[in-house]
Amino acid sequence: MVRYDEGYKQLFSHPRIVKDLLRGFVDVPVVAAVDFETLERRSGSYVTDDWRRREGDMVWRVRLGDAWLWIYILLEFQSKVDPFMALRMMVYVGLLYQDIVKTEKLKKGSMLPPVLPVVLYHGKERWNVARDVSVLIREVPGWRRRYSPSMEILLLEEKRVDERVLLEKGQNLVAALFALENSRCPGRILELVEALRELLALEGSLELRRAVTEWVKWILSDSMESKGIEFQAESLKEMRSMLAERFEEWSREWKAKGIKKGVKKGVKKGVKKGVKKGVRVGQRAVLLDLLETKFGRLPMEVLERVEGGKRADLQRWLRRLLEARSLEEVFEEEGIFSRTSGEPA
């Protein structure tokens, strides 16, 4: 997790990443009016009330006409939702304002700049707590709400971003990174690694290219190592080649496993059952070949579902395959694909 955290901190220390995040995922009209060429990173080191320094959060500012818009990006890597995140962010923004008053030498009559509080949340648990600190304050009869603080955080739940939304972002590095981390489909992973390689080929910052490459390596390494595979690729091109080779091996292994399993059970249970099982194994092999021919490399979830499919299932999928335009249409009632993302559930 520490390596993962550091990877994200390195990514969001680059103006291109911050620019793509704001342009692609922050639905605030004022963002369209900022001059992204003026993006500059500011110190994010503040002392909280328990005397801990917050060094990991990203603080940027960008010109908005003749003024500055400040952006506070809190990278939240906890697995569980913090019910008091809105309060935490209000404290951090307050510390930022204090630092602005001090470093900018603001005088009497000076106005504080606007601050956009962004929380980038990576946890699997759905965010179901207050986004505005005012919601956390108990209402008392006769009490005027205007005396209570109010500040809403701009929350981005990375794992809840619809794949269709990500596809609409086009040439957006952050969209590609989010999609890669959320994707479980081998074919889609290969496409995204190639898309990142092409995007970075046009990127002038060598440091950013290295940061993205390292981040992708960390993400894919975790997936590979969980399957007992050592992942040593050093470039996106090498990563894609290695993944393509490995996915092809997995596909062959699943097919071979299914045939071997069918034959073994057939011998053990007798000729009659063996023949019946052999027919089913043949149907599986035909179905997998046709699916691959029509839609390319198959997700592990599809391979598993076909492997466990009964004769009626196989026949139904074969009939659907004739007119299906996507894997989702073939397995629409199987619960493999989520209704929102088009990725395996």
Look at residue 294 in the predicted model and tell me its pLDDT.
Answer: 81
Cβ atoms of 116 and 71 within 8 Å: the answer is: yes
For 57-88, write each residue's pLDDT tens digit. 889 999 998 899 999 999 887 778 999 999 99
Q: Could you read off the pLDDT tens digit of each residue along the chain, which spans 345 residues?
A: 556 677 888 899 999 999 999 999 998 888 889 999 999 998 766 655 554 555 568 899 999 988 999 999 998 877 789 999 999 999 999 999 998 998 888 888 899 999 999 999 988 888 999 999 999 999 888 888 888 999 999 999 988 887 777 877 778 899 988 888 887 777 778 888 888 888 888 777 889 988 888 888 887 776 665 555 555 667 888 777 777 776 666 666 555 655 555 555 554 554 444 445 545 667 777 888 788 878 877 777 788 788 778 888 888 888 888 888 888 888 876 666 554 344 554
Which residues are CB-neighbours of 82 under 8 A, at least 6 positions away? 76, 88, 129
* CB atoms near residue 247 (< 10 Å): 19
Distance of CA 26 to the CA centre of its chain: 16
Where does residue 157 rank: exposed (0-12), middle (13-18), buried (19+ CB within 10 A)?
A: middle
Reduce the DSSP state of residue 169 to 3 states and report it: coil
Distance of CA 121 to the CA centre of its chain: 10
Using alpha carbons, list the distances in angstroms from residue 327 to 258, 277, 305. Answer: 20, 25, 12
Question: Maximum CA pair distance of the chain?
Answer: 94
* CB atoms near residue 238 (< 10 Å): 13
**Comparing C-alpha atoms, which of 329, 327, 330 is closest to residue 315?**
330
The CA angle 92-214-22, to the nearest 5 degrees, is: 45
Look at residue 227 in the predicted model and tell me its pLDDT.
Answer: 53
Q: How far apart are CA 180 and CA 177, in angstroms?
A: 5
* Phi, psi (deg, nearest 5) at residue 117: -90, 105
Reduce the DSSP state of residue 229 to 3 states and report it: coil
Name the residue with tokens 């990375």. Answer: 158
- In one letter, which amino acid is 221? S
For 199-242, write each residue's pLDDT tens digit. 888 777 889 988 888 888 887 776 665 555 555 667 888 777 77
Reduce the DSSP state of residue 248 to 3 states and report it: helix
Which residues are CB-neighbours of 281 under 8 A, at least 6 positions away? 258, 259, 262, 263
